[in-house]
Amino acid sequence: MRKVKLFLINSFAMTATSLILRIIGVSFNVYISNTIGLAGMGLIEIIMSVFSFSVIVASSGINLGATRLVAEELACKSHSGIRKSMSNCLIYSAVFGIFAGLVLFLGADFIGTTLLGDERTVKSLPILAISLPFYSAQCVMYGYFTAVRKSFLTSIVQVFEMGSRIGLTVYFLEKNLHLGLEYACIGLMTAATLSEIIAFSLMFIVYLLDKRKYSKKDKTNNNITKRMFKITLPVAFSSYVCSALQTIKSIMIPLGLIKFGLTRDEALAQFGVISGMVIPVILFPAAFLSTFSSLIVPEITEAYRLDNKARINSMISRVFQISLIFTICVIGIFLNFSNEFGLVIYNNISIGVYIKILTPLALIAYLHSRRYAKRLERTGKLNVLQYI
């Protein structure tokens, strides 16, 4: 009964937080697009496409690794195992986070001028590189709180992070905008990096306070490191491939538009509309589903540990049924009211046209983050899952 109560509390907190943050995020996108223009949105999106791949390398599956290891040790009531799992995961995150940060920092000039084809991106990339070790460490702590059924604490930190990001973004945009798009992007990336450091600091304090309850010395499982690599590395490699393809696509779209006769800024504007304005609207309702995608991991881990296959199959079936019904309803709403969404959110009916064209992708996008459950059903293992 206590586990059900904790699951409901975490589900409500995470869903509410996700909804609030997505509403704020979409609204803030309107502010940013009105401030820096569509070309500026496109410039941000191609910078973030490279940063997204760097984030995947920095985390390298450690979120799922921490969740799985801590959940297993918690099921065995091994306090020493929990501490050792977290220690190993934090070292792992530091290695990959620093490595990804150094590559992005040192390779910023080559990435900006050669790969992205826009020198205005070069100065923003090293700033984002600084945030990668902090992001990677946060992934470990998010995994920890998911495993111990206290995800509501991470929701509180996320609210503070969003608040700091908005305040810093407004400050740096007002300070840098008159210098041009390049410096506007630098301001945005500085705000993002500082807010990431603030979020890490808050999360680390909360983690230190919570982990004190697992101070008992008991028997430790000696193969924790081996288990960690079995979970994280398959996830990391599959994530590298998927993210690399996404990054290549994001780089190629503006280049393709330029070949068809658009100027650089016109191509960036079209790309910014789709990636920075339309896609966030289409993915907004996924907030209702994303909570269960993360909270179900420790539940399935525990059921697998207890060899309760009936419970695993039941949870997986329910997740897919709810996801499919919800997705079909969302697609119907977007198809019928796409123009209205474009006008209400962005005061631009042409964005409504893009929403209608891209809405069918929601069927794939929404169910994509639930696919790990189906793979678990086939393999009986979590170490081959891709955490989205």
How far apart, in whole angstroms, are the C-alpha atoms of residue 1 and residue 138? 30
DSSP 142: H
Amino acid at residue number 215:
S
Its pTM stands at 0.73
The maximal CA–CA distance of the chain, rounded, in angstroms, is: 68
Q: Are 298 and 71 in contact (CB under 8 A)?
A: yes
Query: With bands split at pLDDT 50, 70 and 90, how would you rate the model's confidence at 297?
Result: low
How far apart, in whole angstroms, are the C-alpha atoms of residue 373 and residue 318? 11
How far apart, in whole angstroms, are the C-alpha atoms of residue 52 and residue 388? 13
CA-wise closest residue to 287 among 20, 24, 7, 8: 20
Q: Are 257 and 270 in contact (CB under 8 A)?
A: yes
- 383 phi and psi, to 5 degrees? -80, 0
Q: Average pLDDT for residues 267-286, to the nearest whole number?
A: 78
How far apart, in whole angstroms, are the C-alpha atoms of residue 297 and residue 293? 7
How far apart, in whole angstroms, are the C-alpha atoms of residue 255 and residue 340? 31
**One-character DSSP codes across 270-330:** HHHIIIIIIHHHHHGGGHHHHHHHHHHHHHHHHHHHTT-HHHHHHHHHHHHHHHHHHHHHH
Q: Are 46 and 118 in contact (CB under 8 A)?
A: yes
| 3-class DSSP assignment, residue 109 | helix
pLDDT at 95 over 80: yes
pLDDT at 381 over 60: no
Distance of CA 158 to the CA centre of its chain: 12
From residue 331, alpha-carbon distances to 223, 325, 361 in Å are 46, 10, 9
The rounded percent of the chain whose pLDDT value lies above 90 is 18
Query: With bands split at pLDDT 50, 70 and 90, how would you rate the model's confidence at 382?
Result: very low
pLDDT at 333 over 50: yes
Sign of CA dihedral 158, 211, 224, 1: negative
The pLDDT of residue 12: 64
DSSP 266: H
How far apart, in whole angstroms, are the C-alpha atoms of residue 270 and residue 255? 12
- Mean pLDDT score of the chain: 80
Q: Are 387 and 234 in contact (CB under 8 A)?
A: no
Neighbours of 267 (CB within 10 A): 22
CB neighbour burial string for 176-210, b if at least 16 within 10 angstroms, e if fewer: beeeebbbbbbbbbbbbbbbbbbbbebbbebbeee
Tell me the pLDDT tens digit for each residue of 53-81: 899 999 998 988 898 888 888 877 888 88
Tell me the pLDDT tens digit for each residue of 35-44: 888 788 888 8
Query: 96-105, 138-147, 341-350 — which one is most confidently predicted on average?
Result: 96-105
How far apart, in whole angstroms, are the C-alpha atoms of residue 298 and residue 306? 12
What's the residue count for the chain? 388
- From the number of C-beta atoms within 10 Å of its C-beta (0-12, 13-18, 19+), residue 77 rates as exposed
How far apart, in whole angstroms, are the C-alpha atoms of residue 310 and residue 9? 25
The pLDDT of residue 90: 94
